[in-house]
Amino acid sequence: MVGEIAGNGFCVFIGVAEDDTKEIADKLIRKMLGLRIFADENDKTNLSLHDVDGSLLLISQFTLYANCKKGFRPSFDRAGNPKLANELYEYIIAECKKEIQIVETGCFGEHMEISLNNHGPFTIILDSAELINPQK
């Protein structure tokens, strides 16, 4: 077992594109940590990860950039090269640890078996391309 969280928290799969930067990662981190998706005392989704003293499980996942438009073998040409991806993954971990008490991780570039119990209706995609060009 490498990383595990329990209780309130986010399991975050992180894919890095070739044109992602630390500035983009900072925007995504700010957005992720500010998402108000936990229920308050009135069962309204008004609370963020900070509000519920939640934890994070951060897992690198280049396959998020799979392009399946042609043929049957996915292309990963939009995924960042491993050196860049690992650098940004480690940067995201370090930045999250400044804000969140419990931050667990997977192993970069390794085959992992991941088990997830999702409590609630939320599975959200935060895409750096949408933050850069919000009109699209």
* pLDDT value at residue 112: 85
**Whole-angstrom Cα distance, residue 129 to residue 49?**
23
* pLDDT value at residue 135: 67
* CATH classification for the domain delimited by 9-132, as one of 3.90.1720.10, 3.50.80.10, 3.10.450.50, 3.40.462.20: 3.50.80.10
Both tokens of 66, joined, read 């799979």
pLDDT by 10s per residue, the chain, length 136: 889 898 899 999 999 999 999 999 999 999 999 999 999 999 999 999 999 999 999 999 988 888 899 999 998 888 889 999 999 999 999 999 999 999 999 989 888 888 888 877 788 889 888 877 766 5
Catalytic-labelled residue, pool 21, 63, 105, 123: 63
Alpha helices (runs of H) in 5-134, residue ranges in sequence order: 22-34, 82-99, 128-132
Give the pTM: 0.90
**Whole-angstrom Cα distance, residue 47 to residue 34?**
9
Active site residue 45: no
Helix axes 82-99, 22-34, angle to 10 degrees: 40
Contact 54, 96 (CB under 8 A): no
All residues at 6 or more sequence positions from 134 whose CB lies less than 8 Å from its CB, including other chains: none
Say which DSSP state 96 is in.
H
Domain ranges for the chain: 9-132
* pLDDT value at residue 85: 93
> 121: buried, middle or exposed (CB in 10 Å: 19+, 13-18, 0-12)?
exposed
